Amino acid sequence: MNDSSTPSRTTASPRNAPGAPRPAFRRRALRVLALAGVLSATTLSALPPTAVAAARVPETYTLTIRHLDRQGAATDAYQTRVTGISGPGASEAVTPHDDSGTVTVRLPEGRYLLDSTVVGREEGSGTDWIVQPRLDLDRDTTVTVDARTTAPVDVRPQDPEARFLSRLGAVEVTHGGTTRFANVMAGPGLRVAHLGPDAEPGSVKEWFDTYWAGTTTDYALGYTFTSSRALTGLVRHPSPSSLAAVKVRRAAPDGDAGTAFASVQPSAGPTVGLVQPLRPLGTATVLVTPERGRWDVEYEGPSAPGETPNRYARNGFAVRAGATTTHTFDNAVFGPALDTAPGARPAGVRDGAALSLDVPLLADGEGHAPSAPRFRAATTTLHRDGVLIGTRRGAPGRGAFTTTPGAASYRLTATATRGDGAAPSGRVTAAWTFTSAATARPTALPLSTVRFTPVLGLDGTAPADDRMRVPVTVQGAAAGTGVRSLAVSVSTDNGTTWTRVPVADGRAAFRNPAAGRSVSLRAELTDTRGNTLTQTLTNAYRTR
C-alpha cells in the first residue's frame, strides 16, 4: 500500500501471486464492514405518533472543523466522519469536506464520535488518524484536527527481513448504551492521536493489527486497549519468545492437487487476516501476539472453476507465548463429529411431531466440519417401530421428518460415500436407535458419535505393519460417564470381515496390514439409557 494514497476504511486486499501471503478481510461477512453497518444502524427507538407530534424540535449547533497537515498548514487532503452516539443527534452520520481545509456543518445537540484521516502530499509521507471519542455538541463548537499532534504506530517484529503487508486500526466508543465504530487501513507510515476531552473510563476500545511477511514465517501482531482515550502513538517490537506460533497444515489424503488457502486472524473485534497459499502437504507458520486474545484459523480447499470450495474453520483457540498450536485440515479419518462447545446446537432435535438430524458426517481427522463436503452419494433414513418413515438424499448427515406423536422406537441412519469420482472412496455410516415421543418444545435427541484419531501422515497414511493405539473418543449424549458398553472392530478387506480389538485407556490396539492396504473402523456403543450407535468407517485410512 502506498503511504501517499488515501487510506481505506472498507477495502479488501487483492490476492497476491502464488506463494506469497496476502492480507484480506476475513470471509465471515467481512466483519469490519458488517460491524460498521450494524453499529451505524443502532439508533433510538421510534416514538409513537402522538409522542412525535408533541416532541420539540431539537436544538442544532454549528460544528466547525479545521484540518492542518504536519507542517501546520491548512489541507484539503483529509477524510472526516462525525457519527452521533447519543442525544437528538444519535442517528446522525456525516462526512463533511471543503477544499479550504475548514468545513462547517450544523448538527443536533448530542454526543458524537469524530475521526479524521489526513494524508501527506509527498510520496511516503504517511497517514495521520486523529480520533475524538467524546465530542459533546451543546453549543457552537470549533475542532482543530492537527496532524502535528500525532505519534507513530510502530509495530514490527524483530526480524530485519520481514516485509510489511497491512494494518488495521479500529476504535469503538460506547455511551448511554449505544456503540459507534470507526476504522482505518493504512501503510507503514501511520501516525495516530487522541483529540478532545477524556470519555468515561472504559468506554473507548481500540484495536491495532499489523501483518508482516518473513522469509520462513509470517507475523500477525495485534493489540487491544480499553480506556477513556484514543491512542496517541503505539510502539511494539515483540521478541520471538513473546510470540505464539500457529501452524496450519494442508493434508491431501486423496492425492488432491491445486492450491488451498489458510487464513489466521484474531477472534475478537474487527480485523484484517493474513491469508497464505498452501500446496499439497504444505505448512504455513504465523507468529501471533497472545495479548490479542484468542485466534481463528480458516481453511479453503482447492476447487475447480465454477465449483464451491470446501471450507473448514477452527475458531477461538487460546495461544501462549513460546508455544506452538498446530491445526491440520482435510486429513483422514473422516467421520461424524459433534460440536462440543457449551450451548452448541444439538445434532438431532425432536419438536412436536417433527424430528431432524444435522450431523457433520464427513468431518476431517481433527473434527473440522466441512462447508461443502465432497461426496458421491448420501442418504438419511428414519424408521419408527421398524416401519420406514422416509428417506432424504443429497446432504450428508442431514434430514427432516414428520412422524406421529406417541412414544416409539426409532432407528435413524445416515450414510455418505466420500470422494468426487476421481479419488479413492470411503463410506461413512452412523445408525442410532432411541425411544422418542412428541415434545412440547425443541428437545435434543440422545445421539452420540465416536471419533477415531490415529496419527497419520499428511497423505492420510500410516506405516504398514505398525502396532497402532488409536485414540477413541465418545461425543454427544454418552460422553463422559454415559457409556454402558463400547466395542471397536477393524477390517482390512474393505469391510468384508471384521475383527474385534481391545480398547483400553481410551485407545484401540491393533496391527496395521501390509503396505497399500486400507483400514476400516467400526464402533458399537450403548449408553446408560439403552440408546445405541453403530458407526462404520470403510477405508478410513491407508498404509504405506
Closest CA to 295 of 264, 273, 324, 271: 264
**What does the mean pLDDT of the chain come to?**
89
| pLDDT > 90? residue 333 | yes
How sure is the predictor about 420, in pLDDT bands with cuts at 50, 70 and 90? low
The pTM (predicted TM-score) of the whole model is: 0.84
Query: Cell 495521520 belongs to which residue?
Result: 128
Residue 475 CB partners (closer than 8 Å, separation 6+): 337, 338, 340, 448, 449, 450, 451
Cα 489–chain centre separation? 36
CATH of domain 243-329: 2.60.40.10
Q: Which of 19-28, 308-317, 508-517 has the lowest mean pLDDT?
A: 19-28
Instruction: Give the sign of the dihedral formed by CA 244, CA 459, CA 454, CA 525.
Output: positive
Q: Are both 22-236 and 243-329 of the same fold? A: yes
pLDDT at 199: 98
pLDDT in tens, 438-463: 999 999 999 999 999 999 999 999 99
| pLDDT > 60? residue 14 | no
pLDDT in tens, 79-106: 999 999 999 999 999 999 999 999 999 9
pLDDT at 90: 97
How sure is the predictor about 364, in pLDDT bands with cuts at 50, 70 and 90? very high
Measure the CA–CA gap between 262 and 283, rounded to whole angstroms: 10
| pLDDT > 60? residue 371 | yes
Inter-residue contact 100 to 66 (CB < 8 Å): no
Q: Where are the domains of the chain?
A: 22-236, 243-329, 348-543
Q: Strand (E) positions, 280-347?
A: 283-288, 295-300, 311-317, 324-329
Topology, domain 22-236: Immunoglobulin-like (2.60.40)
Measure the CA–CA gap between 154 and 396, rounded to whole angstroms: 49
pLDDT in tens, 40-72: 323 233 334 444 444 567 899 999 999 999 999
When comparing pLDDT for 290 and 17, which is higher?
Answer: 290
Type and span of the H or E element at 357: strand 354-358
pLDDT at 4: 38
- To the nearest whole percent, how much of the chain has pLDDT over 90? 81
